[in-house]
Amino acid sequence: MNFESWQLQYADGKVLLIDKPLTWTSFDVVKKIRVLTRISKIGHAGTLDPLATGLLIVCTGKFTKRINEFMAQEKEYEGSFTLGAITPTYDRESEPYDHKPYDHLTEETIRAATAAFTGEIMQVPPIHSAIKMDGKPAYQLARKGKEVKMEPRRVVIHAFEITAINLPEVRFRVVCSTGTYIRSLAFDFGNALGCGAYMSALCRTRIGDYGIAASQTIEEFVGALEKEKSASADADQKG
C-alpha cells in the first residue's frame, strides 16, 4: 500500500497517549484514529469502560507488537465510590439497589478499611465484563440473564488511599497490577464497610511511566493531525 508522506510515521509505528472521553468505548477511540489516519494496523493497550475516562495507550503500525508490554505495566487510577447501595454492574451503568445506611461510618473506619485491600489479594471480576466465558464476553451472557460464575484472580494493589470523604461519596487513588477491576474493588470495599458501594467515577491517570498529563484529547489529536497534513502538503509542494 502506498502511504502519503504524513501517514508514514503512523504506518511505521507510533505510540499515542489519548485521554479517553466519557461514554466512548476504547474501541471507539481506535476506530476514530483508524478513520483519521487511514491506517488499519492500530490497537489499544488496556480497555477502559465507557463510564471511565483517562489514559488510553494506542499503538499504530509496528508498535502494535508492544501492546502486551504496555498492558502488563502498573496502572494508577483516581475516582469515587458511592456508599449505601450496590448495582449489578458495580458502577453507574445500572440502577442502584439494596440501599443501606452509611451515616454511622466514621472517617477513621472508612480509611482503615483500605488495609484489607492492599497488597496481593484475590479478586472476583464483575460478571458485566469483557472476560470470555465459553467464547463469549461475560457481559453478553449476564445481560441475557444467564448464570455467570467468575473465578477469583490474584491481583496486587500497591496503594489504596482515600483522598476525600463527602458521604455518600468517597474519593480514592489506587495503584495496581494489570488485571485489577476497580469496579470489583468498589463492590468489595462496600461489603467490608457493611453498606455496599459502587464505582461512580473513574479516571486512569498512569500506565507504567506514561502519565495522563502527556495525553491528548481526541479534539487535540485531530488538530495536531491536521497540522501534520498541512505541513506535509507544504513540503510536497516545495519538493
In degrees and rounded to multiples of 5, residue 90 shows phi and psi of 70, 10
Q: Which of 12, 19, 49, 234 is catalytic?
A: 49
Q: Which of 1, 79, 84 is nearest to 37 (CA)?
A: 1
49 is catalytic: yes
Question: Which segments of the chain does DSSP mark as H helices, in order?
Answer: 8-12, 26-37, 67-71, 107-112, 138-143, 182-193, 218-238
Residue 191's Cβ-side half-sphere holds a number of Cα atoms within 13 Å equal to 10
CA of 88: how far to CAs of 52, 174, 204, in Å? Answer: 17, 22, 22
Q: Where are the beta strands (DSSP E) in the chain?
A: 15-20, 42-44, 53-60, 75-83, 119-123, 132-133, 136-137, 153-166, 169-176, 197-207, 210-211
234 is written with which cell numbers? 507544504
Tell me which residues are annotated as active site: 49
